[in-house]
Amino acid sequence: MKALPSFLLILLVTAAPTGGQESQGGARLTLQAALDLADKQNLDLAAARQRRFVSRAGVQIAKERPNPTFGFTALRDTPHEGWFFDQPLELGGKRGHRINVAQQEGGVTDVEISTVARQVRRSAREAFYRLAFARAESERLAQVVKLAERLKQIAQQRFEAGAVPQLEVVQAEVEVSRAQADLEVARQEEKVALSQFNALLNEPAATAWELAGGLEDPPPAWSVEELVQRAYRANAELQHLAQEEKVEESRRGLLKAERIPNLDLQYGLDFNSPPDFRVGPRGQLSLTLPIFSRNQGEIAQSLASQRVLEAETTARKRAVAGMVEEAYFDWNAQQTQAGIYRQTLVPAVRKLEGMAEESYRAGKATILVVLDAQRNVQDVERTYQQGLLALQSAFASLEEAVGAPLDQK
C-alpha cells in the first residue's frame, strides 16, 4: 500500500507535458489572428496613431477664445488715473469655422493612419506567407534528404551485389551531402523568416508559431469590376484627396467668415478728475472696416486649389482603376500558373522520379537517370512553392491597391 502513492507520483510526472514540448510547437496562429495582432502591436502603426493626439490638440486650440487685455493709466492730465479691460469679440461664426477646419485636418490625419494600417496589413500578410514558404521549403528538403538516402542504400546494395561500380555509391553519397547542406540552409532561412515575422508583430524574436494555414490557402473569388468599384470607395490616395477637398472647403468658409470684422469692446473706470468727478465709467467700441481687404485673393486661391484637387481626383481615379486591373490580372496569372503546376507538372515529375528509381532498382537504368529525375522534382516543386508565395504576394498587392480587406466578400 505504501508503494501506491509513489507509483501514482511517477505516473503523473511522466504524463505531464514539459515546457520544452510546449514551446516547440508554439501557439496556433491563423492569418486573421496574425493580421489582428499586427494591427494591435505593430510599433510603426502605434507611432502613427499617436498623431491623433496632435489633431485633437489642434481642435482644442481652435476652440480657444481671445483673452481680455487689462490696462492702467496714470497721467498728469485729467483724469489722472484709470483702468480698463479690452475684450475682442469674434463675430460671424469664426470660432465654429476654425473648429471645423481643425476637425477636417484631423480627418486627413485619420486617412494617413489608415494608409499606414493598410501597409502594415500587407507586410503582415507577406511575412506570414514567407514564414509558411520557409517551413514548406524545410519540409520539402527534408523529403529530398530521405530520397537521397534511399537512393544511396539502393546503390550500396547494387554495389555489394556487383551490379554497379563503386562510383555510383560515391555519387549517391555526394547527393546526400548536398541535400543535407540545402536542408541546413533552409532551416536557417526559416529562422530569419520567423524573426522578421515576430519583429513585425512586436513579439520576442524566439516566439514560435504554429501556422494554421499555408501557401495553398484558397483566395476568394472577385471580379475586376467589383474590385475597381471598391477601390473608388476605399483607396488610400483617393480618400486623402477627398479629405483634402473637405479641408479646403472648410478653410474657404473660414475666410468668408473673417470678412465680418471683430468687435473690440473696451470698458473701465477713470479716477481723480477734479472738479468734474472723482470716479467715472469709460467705454469704447471699435471695429476694422472691411473696405480694402476682404480676403478676395485668399478665397480665389482656395477655389483654384479646389479645382486642382478635383482634377487630381479625376486623374487618380483612372490611375487607381489601372493599378487595380494590373494587380488583378497579375494575381489571376499567378493563380493559373499555380493551378498548372499543382494539377499537371508536380504529379508528372513525381511519377517520373518514382519510375526512374524503380528502373534503377531493377537494373534497367543508371544512377544518373535517377539523379536527373530527382533534380527535376526538386526544381518543379521549388518553382511551385515560389509560385504559391508569388500568388499570396500578388493578392497582398491587390488588397493594398483596393484599400480594403479582401479575405471575405
What is the sign, positive or negative, of the torsion defined by CA atoms of 262, 268, 273, 279? Answer: positive
Residue 16's pLDDT band (boundaries 50, 70, 90)? Answer: very low
146-170 pLDDT, tens digit each:
999 999 999 999 898 888 899 999 9
Under a CB-based contact definition with an 8 Å cutoff, are residues 122 and 399 in contact?
yes
29-63 pLDDT, tens digit each:
999 999 999 999 999 999 999 999 999 999 999 99
Asked if the model's pLDDT at residue 7 lies above 60, the reply is no
Is position 189 within any domain? Answer: yes
Q: How high is the pLDDT of residue 75?
A: 86
Q: How high is the pLDDT of residue 25?
A: 57
Say what percent of the chain tops pLDDT 70: 94
Q: How high is the pLDDT of residue 10?
A: 34
CATH of the domain at 59: 1.20.1600.10
71-129 pLDDT, tens digit each:
999 888 888 889 999 999 999 899 999 999 999 999 999 999 999 999 999 999 999 99
Q: Cα 304 to the chain's mean position, in Å?
A: 34
Instruction: Work out how many domains the chain is built from and give that number.
Output: 1
- Round to whole Å and give the CA distance between 39 and 47: 12
Asked if the model's pLDDT at residue 1 lies above 70, the reply is no
Is position 132 within any domain? Answer: yes
Question: Interhelix angle for 51-62 vs 94-160, to 10°?
Answer: 180
Q: How high is the pLDDT of residue 396?
A: 94
Asked if the model's pLDDT at residue 315 lies above 50, the reply is yes
Q: Which of 331, 323, 348 is nearest to 235 (CA)?
A: 323
CA dist list (Å): 297 to 43, 102, 300, 301, 304: 44, 22, 5, 6, 11
Q: How high is the pLDDT of residue 123?
A: 95
- Round to whole Å and give the CA distance between 367 and 363: 10
Mean of all residue pLDDT scores within the chain: 89
Domain range holding 225?
33-402
Is position 25 within any domain? Answer: no
- Round to whole Å and give the CA distance between 389 and 133: 7
Say what percent of the chain tops pLDDT 90: 75
Is position 1 within any domain? Answer: no
In Å, the largest CA–CA distance within the chain is 141
Is position 2 within any domain? Answer: no
Query: Which pairing describes strands 81-89 and 263-273: parallel, antiparallel, or unpaired?
Result: antiparallel
262-286 pLDDT, tens digit each:
999 999 988 888 888 888 898 899 9
Does the pTM surpass 0.85? The reply is: no
CA dist list (Å): 170 to 152, 232, 347: 9, 63, 29
N residues, the chain: 409
207-259 pLDDT, tens digit each:
999 999 888 888 788 999 999 999 999 999 999 999 999 999 999 999 999 99
Cell representation of residue 265:
469692446
CA dist list (Å): 334 to 127, 128, 137, 398: 18, 18, 19, 12
Under a CB-based contact definition with an 8 Å cutoff, are residues 227 and 398 in contact?
yes
Q: How high is the pLDDT of residue 137?
A: 95
DSSP secondary structure string, 155-184? Answer: HHHHHHTTSS-HHHHHHHHHHHHHHHHHHH
